[in-house]
Chain A
Amino acid sequence: GAGVSQTPSNKVTEKGKYVELRCDPISGHTALYWYRQSLGQGPEFLIYFQGTGAADDSGLPNDRFFAVRPEGSVSTLKIQRTERGDSAVYLCASSSWTSIADTQYFGPGTRLTVL
Chain B
Amino acid sequence: ELKVEQNPLFLSMQEGKNYTIYCNYSTTSDRLYWYRQDPGKSLESLFVLLSNGAVKQEGRLMASLDTKARLSTLHITAAVHDLSATYFCAVDGGATNKLIFGTGTLLAVQP
Contact = CB atoms under 8 A, between A and B. Distances in A.
Contacts of A13: none
A21 interface: no
B103 A41 contact: yes
Contact of A103 (B4, B33, B93): B33
B98 A33 contact: yes
B97 A102 contact: yes
A68 B4 CA distance: 29
Nearest to B45: A103
A43 interface: yes
A105 B98 CA distance: 12
B102 A42 contact: yes
Contacts of A103: 33, 45, 48
A110 to B, nearest CB: 11
A105 B45 contact: yes
A33 B93 CA distance: 13
Given A42-B103, A43-B99, A106 B50 contact: no
B48 to A, nearest CB: 5
Given A42-B90, A45-B93, A104 B50 contact: no
A25 interface: no
A43 B35 CA distance: 11
A84 B77 CA distance: 42
A51 interface: no
A109 B97 CA distance: 20
A101 B97 contact: no
A26 interface: no
Q: Which of B41, B43, B48, B101 has the most CB of A within 10 A?
A: B43
A43 B88 CA distance: 9
Interface string A14-28: 000000000000000
B101 A109 contact: no
B54 to A, nearest CB: 11
Given A43-B99, A48-B98, 5 more contacts: A40-B104, A42-B104, A104-B99, A106-B35, A108-B41
8 contacts: A41-B103, A44-B101, A48-B96, A55-B96, A101-B50, A103-B33, A105-B45, A107-B42
